[in-house]
């Protein structure tokens, strides 16, 4: 069985982004969104009232482990990460004030890791 470990920041970014896309009428990402929805809502609830420093520590030091990720869910995550990479690259290409090369690099690294995970046959 494949498993995936994400930082809380990555998990929240993926789920928040998929939520926005689905609300806007998109169809991509539904499998992973529905599978992870309860975990996302629970995490949001637990973090809502954290002081800013504790919240920041959790975002970047905390981990979310998904112990069983299907091929369809993995494809959804990869597709969303591809869209994030394209968005960040676009901001950089346009010299946008919100451009963040480190964020782009972080998502590119995650994409490579997801590709490696895709190559592993589930047991």
Q: Would you call 72 exposed, middle or buried from its count of C-beta atoms within 10 A (0-12, 13-18, 19+)?
A: exposed
Tens-digit pLDDT string for the chain (123 aa):
689 999 999 999 999 999 999 999 988 889 999 999 999 999 999 888 899 999 999 988 999 999 989 999 999 999 999 999 999 999 999 999 999 999 999 999 999 999 999 888 766
The pLDDT value recorded for residue 27 is 82
Q: Would you call 17 exposed, middle or buried from its count of C-beta atoms within 10 A (0-12, 13-18, 19+)?
A: middle
Read off the pTM.
Answer: 0.91
């Amino acid at each position: 069985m494949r498993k995936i470990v994400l930082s809380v920041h990555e998990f929240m970014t993926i789920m928040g982004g998929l939520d926005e896309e689905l609300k806007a009428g998109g169809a991509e990402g539904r499998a992973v969104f529905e599978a992870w929805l309860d975990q996302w809502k629970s995490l949001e609830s637990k973090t809502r009232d954290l002081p800013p420093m504790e919240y920041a520590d959790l975002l970047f030091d905390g981990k979310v482990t998904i112990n069983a990720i299907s091929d369809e869910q993995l494809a959804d995550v990869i597709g969303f990460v591809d869209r994030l990479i394209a968005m960040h690259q676009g901001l950089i290409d346009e010299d946008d004030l919100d451009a963040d090369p480190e964020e782009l690099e972080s998502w590119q690294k995650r994409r490579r890791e997801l590709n490696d995970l895709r190559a592993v046959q589930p047991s």
